[in-house]
Amino acid sequence: MTVRFGVIGTGAIGREHIRRVEQRLSGGKVVAVTDISLDAARRCIDALQLDARLCESEDEVLQDPSVDAVIITSWGPAHEGSVLKAVAAGKYVFVEKPLATTVDGCLRIVEAEARTGRRLVQVGFMRRYDAGYVALKREIESGRYGAPLMVRCVHRNAFVDERYTTDMAVLDTLIHELDVTRWLLGDDYASVQVLYPKVTRHAHAGLQDPQIFNLVTQSGVVITAEVFVNCQYGYDIQCEVVCEDGVVSLAAPQAVDIRHAGLHARPVMQDWKFRFVDAYDAELQDFIDHVGRGAEPAGPSSFDGYIATMVGEACVFAQGKGEWVTISHQEFSRIGRL
């Protein structure tokens, strides 16, 4: 069946997801749209020439019986309320990260979903659908290189604007590494330490940039993740896994190799939208494929969203301290895994 989507939030990624459902993917259609700014939602419907209803509120979207699933792409603090209402209405949910901005909010979602007895929610951790990360996981799991011992991650953006704050380095940026590294290793985090290097002159006043996050997993793997959001030269994502008998690294995405004027070079992508465009397509297509045949979504779950926010909160707590902070796993055993 065609999955009929309601969309809540028509900002940057909301419009991108609508465009991919309507123009690139198969099996989905956007039938209802809303945003906190109705003008923005109306402009989106007009600009993308959607055959979709403009709804005055998310409640109107969720009460619409012709809506099978919702895409929630409003700003983070609004996610929890929308997801809870959608789950209560029995709709399938594709929600952008973060699942919710607080650990308690994530738990409320995990528990509400568990009470329905089925999986309804998928979180937009699209890196799990990136061909490079998928290949990296396959190599690690082959066992050919022995056990992973250390991971080195790099997350660099060319620049950020004045609204970007020091804690956003975790909740907006590092959160992708927190999810994908846990998925790659099949291992949970035990502790974190945050180091503050000398601040770049390109950071606006009050922003700590770059930052180094050292994480240790329960099995003892040490992960060093650099977040540097004013690196100037582009959007650069790296991941290297050092194992007992070899090293596996994330290959650079489709890029040309240039030999010119005494240099051997490869262009660096400038924007996350381009770097992960195929992964965004793949995650949403997977959601459509499952929901369309009446199956539960198979991508990152509300539990994964909960873990990312919980570990993220520990990282934020560790910021500015320089000390190791234990990541509490009490909640893990309380609710179990979905």
Give the binding site for ligand NAP (CB under 6 A). Answer: 8-14, 35-37, 40, 58, 73-76, 78, 96-97, 124, 126, 172, 272
Paired residues of 222 in beta bridges: 150, 216
Q: Which CB, 221 or 303, lies closer to ligand NAP?
A: 303
Nearer to ligand NAP, 145 or 272 (CB): 272
Q: How far is the CB of 76 from ligand NAP (least distance, A)?
A: 4
Q: Where do the DSSP E strands lie in 207-260?
A: 211-217, 222-228, 236-243, 246-249, 258-260
Q: Give the integer Cα–Cα distance in Å for 222 and 23.
A: 42
Residue 65 identity: P
Q: How far is the CB of 319 from ligand NAP (least distance, A)?
A: 19
Smallest gap from residue 105 Cβ to ligand NAP (A) = 13
CA distance 131 to 111: 32
* Closest CB to ligand NAP among residues 130, 209: 130
Nearer to ligand NAP, 165 or 193 (CB): 165
Distance CA 287, CA 211 (A): 34
Find the shortest distance in angstroms from Cβ 177 to ligand NAP. Answer: 12
**Which residue from 44, 49, 46, 103 is spatially nearest to 71, judged by alpha carbons?**
44
Which residue type is seen at 177? Answer: E
Side chain identity at residue 153, one-letter code: C
User: Of 171 and 291, which CB lies nearer to ligand NAP in the complex structure?
Assistant: 171
Instruction: Report, in Å, the least distance between residue 11 CB and ligand NAP.
Output: 2
The SS3 assignment for 142 reads helix
Q: How far is the CB of 39 from ligand NAP (least distance, A)?
A: 9
Nearer to ligand NAP, 231 or 237 (CB): 237
Per DSSP, the residues of 159-197 read ---TT--TTHIIIIIIHHHHHHHHHHHT--EEEEEEE--
CA distance 98 to 83: 11
Nearer to ligand NAP, 216 or 283 (CB): 283
Q: How far is the CB of 12 from ligand NAP (least distance, A)?
A: 4
Nearer to ligand NAP, 11 or 27 (CB): 11
**Side chain identity, residue 39:** D
Q: Which is nearer to ligand NAP, 40 or 54 (CB)?
A: 40
Backbone angles phi, psi at 110, to 5 degrees: -55, -45
Shortest distance in whole angstroms from residue 314 CB to ligand NAP:
19
CA dihedral 286, 289, 295, 298 (to 10 degrees): 0
C-alpha 188 chain-centroid distance: 17
What is the smallest separation between the CB atom of 96 and ligand NAP, expressed in angstroms?
3
Question: DSSP letters of 53-112?
Answer: EEPSSHHHHHH-TT--EEEE-S-GGGHHHHHHHHHHTT-EEEEPSPS-SSHHHHHHHHHH
Q: Which residue is nearest to ligand NAP (CB)?
A: 11
